[in-house]
Amino acid sequence: MASCSGTVRGAEIPTTVAADGDAAFQNSGPLVLDLGCGNGVFLAGLAALRPDWNVLGIERKDYRVRQARRRAGDLNNARIAHGEVTEVLSDLPLSSIARVYLLFSDPWPKRRHAVRRLVQPEFAALLGTRLRPDGIFSFASDSPEYAEWAEDVFRADGWQISAWELPPDWPPTEFEQRFVSAGVQIRRFQAKR
């Protein structure tokens, strides 16, 4: 990996991006994050659906970064940062992000493994500093336990929780497609400061 930097809305956004990546976006639209973007199915679908948004995926697994970059192809409003979510988030400027999606994040279902979940009090606090005041965090999971945990963490940090209604044309994620095919119920919520 190599470090390179780019700009969004004139602000420097240093990100940890593989050497073949370039974090610079071509337009001045709002910055939208897909945390743990996996193979980029949702990221590419969202970037195509909302050409006025700049969609930055963050993913730590090499092969998934490669898949996501291939899938994002020529979309000039999609980028994938290769690294840890909290590290890349920390590198972004304060109040720079309009929307953040955390979709089907690893649920770590055993109670003793819950500390490995991405959503923790420190995560909610960090996100609160990087989201714009009108920013929205959106969460979906196949795990009711993780969804309840995440809601509790955000509520305890002072966020307002509400239902997240999906627009009809909303792109599904890879994991969502699997869960829906298997008849698994999906839990979703939104959180605002």
Ligand X SMILES: C[S@@+](CC[C@H](N)C(=O)[O-])C[C@H]1O[C@@H](n2cnc3c(N)ncnc32)[C@H](O)[C@@H]1O
What residues are labeled active site? 106
**What character string, x for contact with ligand X (CB under 6 A) and - otherwise, covers 103-142?**
xxxx-----------x------------------------
* Pair 41, 174: CB distance under 8 Å: yes
- Please tell me whether residue 38 binds ligand X under the rule CB under 6 A: yes
**The Cα angle at residue 103 between residues 101 and 108, in degrees rounded to 5:** 130
Structure tokens at 164: 């997240």
Closest-CA residue to 88 (of 141, 145, 130, 50): 130
Whole-angstrom Cα distance, residue 72 to residue 61? 16
CA 17 to chain centre: 16
Using rule CB under 6 A, residue 175 touches ligand X: yes
Q: Is 36 in the site for ligand X (CB under 6 A)?
A: yes
Q: Which string of x and - marks every residue 56-95 that binds ligand X (by CB under 6 A)?
A: --xxxx--x-------------------xx----------
Quick one: 34 or 136, whose CB is closer to ligand X? 34
The alpha carbons of the chain give a radius of gyration, in whole angstroms, of: 16
Judged by CB under 6 A, the residue of 30, 173, 186, 191 near ligand X is 173
User: Which residues bind to ligand X, rule: CB under 6 A?
Assistant: 36-38, 58-61, 64, 84-85, 103-106, 118, 173-176
